[in-house]
Amino acid sequence: MHTDHSRPYRVEADIRQAHTLPANFYRDPAAFGRLREEVFARAWHWVGSAGALPTPGSARPVTLLEGLLDEPLALVRDQQGQLRTLSNVCTHRGHLVVQQAGPCQQLRCRYHGRRFGLDGRFLSMPEFAGATGFPRPGDSLPVVATANWGDLVFASLDPQQPWIEWVQPLHARVGFLPWDQLQHQPAYSREYEVAAHWALYVDNYLEGFHIPYVHPALNRVIDYGDYRYELFPGGNLQVGTAKGADEPVFDLPDDHPEAGQRVAAFYFWLFPHLMLNVYPWGVSLNQVEPLGMTRTRVRFETFVWRPDLYDATQRELLHQTELEDEAVVEAVQRGIGSRLYQRGRFSPRMEVAVHQFHRLLAAALES
């Protein structure tokens, strides 16, 4: 294999000829830092549930990607009921403004008393009568791009991809579902910490190739032979059909691309780190959050629209599958430290989504 030393992370467009990202990518602090600023700092992130702010005139603090970006934000619902995300850093001396969730008519910094409206506008400041050119636009709290998909609230500091483009594939495939009826279930949500590079966790998620080898319980439910992938700009979809006649499946509209098929799950991945696993009972939102070169936190947030279908069996299958995934991802983390392993090849049928992910990472590092 010829190596282009000027483009060490180049991945061929033709999957039949392409090699994976080299092992060095997962060990490269410079690549990790660059992706933090140029990809994660510009990505859309899940920041909470709309139901967590049920009444107008309320706010709650949010830390965006704690452990990686550590950006202090405030999720706010104003008196008209509109949701916003604001910088949670006072424009006077940098103190945090919102420090606990609760009702509020306006925001006040407890350090020196600067006040802001729930839209972020500067309202007042004690002892500034002699300041010239005050207030200026920069004295208001920066407003962060915010959007919601049903109960799911997302924010981005500097969106690289417009919201409507980012979620368009969801509109097209699962827009018929009752997203406005989703109910967040914190009691069934949990966090996992994985001793591996965040991209290795995503690599594993993006292929069903390993299901027969790693997930015996899932393999009894999902028809591996009918497992399908679909790519779109900035993400992809994996479609899992039910193997058994008793498994819950979607009641699909007549004009749906999978109409007449026994679809058990739509697995959406949106670059770089968000998984929306859509089931007949609801949604498991998984957000992959890097904590370091070899540590990753994965949030599993559960949202339900058919509680009658979401039982202990479903919960145990998700938990068991996650533990099995963690075991193989952590084994790969140990393996890429080998002096003998360089890079692999892709299965042209089963690893098209992994190939897409590697190409997106390579493009970000070469931009």
Q: What is the pLDDT along the chain (367 residues), one digit of tens a residue?
A: 455 566 889 999 999 999 999 999 999 999 999 999 999 999 999 999 999 999 999 999 999 999 999 999 999 999 999 999 999 999 999 999 999 999 999 999 999 999 999 999 999 999 999 999 999 999 999 999 999 999 999 999 999 999 999 999 999 999 999 999 999 999 999 999 999 999 999 999 999 999 999 999 999 999 999 999 999 999 999 999 999 888 899 999 999 999 999 999 999 999 999 999 999 999 999 999 999 999 999 999 999 999 999 999 999 999 999 999 999 999 999 999 999 999 999 999 999 999 999 999 999 999 7
Q: What is the DSSP letter of 98?
A: -
| Euclidean distance between CA atoms 17 and 1, whole angstroms | 10
pTM: 0.94
User: So where are the chain's domains?
Assistant: 45-156, 168-366
Pairing of strands 263-270, 274-279: antiparallel
Query: Would you state the CATH architecture of domain 168-366?
Result: Alpha-Beta Complex (3.90)
Contact (CB, 8 A) for 96 and 61: yes
Average pLDDT, the chain: 95
Please name the fold of domain 45-156: Rieske Iron-sulfur Protein (2.102.10)
The span from the CA of 358 to the CA of 367, in Å, is 14
Residue appearing with tokens 């309320």: 58
How far apart, in Å, are the Cα atoms of 223 and each of 102, 241, 242? 47, 6, 6
Contact between 122 and 135 (Cβ < 8 Å): yes
Q: What is the pLDDT of residues 31-54, one digit of tens each?
A: 999 999 999 999 999 999 999 999
